[in-house]
Amino acid sequence: MRLNVKYPVRRIGDENLIIIPLREVTGIKKVLSINSTSLWLIESLAGRNFNVGDISSLLKGRFDVDDLVADFDASVWVNQLIKYGIVGNDEDA
């Protein structure tokens, strides 16, 4: 997997946002507000290929969580980003 460079994190005020166009013709957009942990993960994974295990390892290295919790959180996090096209296959990003 790889982060899609088309959707950078933008800082607006105190918020970290990812702005995703849903329909180019109408200009409708989806705006995701991300927390500091998501920002840190995105910054840590930028520009490289990764998998759920890599995300889990990052979480375990930063937080005092057991393997099962880190694996679950990594899976939920990356699946949300896949849903919006923020994370894709190595060739797509």
Q: Summarize pLDDT for 32-44 with one digit per residue, the tens.
A: 999 999 999 999 9
The dihedral sign for the CA sequence 43, 16, 51, 77 = positive
Q: Which domains does the chain show, CATH number per domain?
A: 2-86 (1.10.10)
Is the pLDDT at 25 greater than 70? The verdict is: no
Residue 54 backbone zone (phi > 0: left; psi -120 to 50: alpha; other: beta)? alpha
Is the pLDDT at 91 greater than 80? The verdict is: no
Q: H/E element holding 91?
A: none
H-type alpha helices, the chain: 36-45, 52-62, 67-83
Q: What is the model's pTM?
A: 0.86
Check: CB of residue 4 under 8 Å from CB of residue 88.
yes
Q: What is the mean pLDDT of the chain?
A: 91
Question: Do β-strands 2-3 and 15-23 pair in parallel, antiparallel, or remain unpaired?
Answer: unpaired
| The length of the chain, given as a count of residues | 93
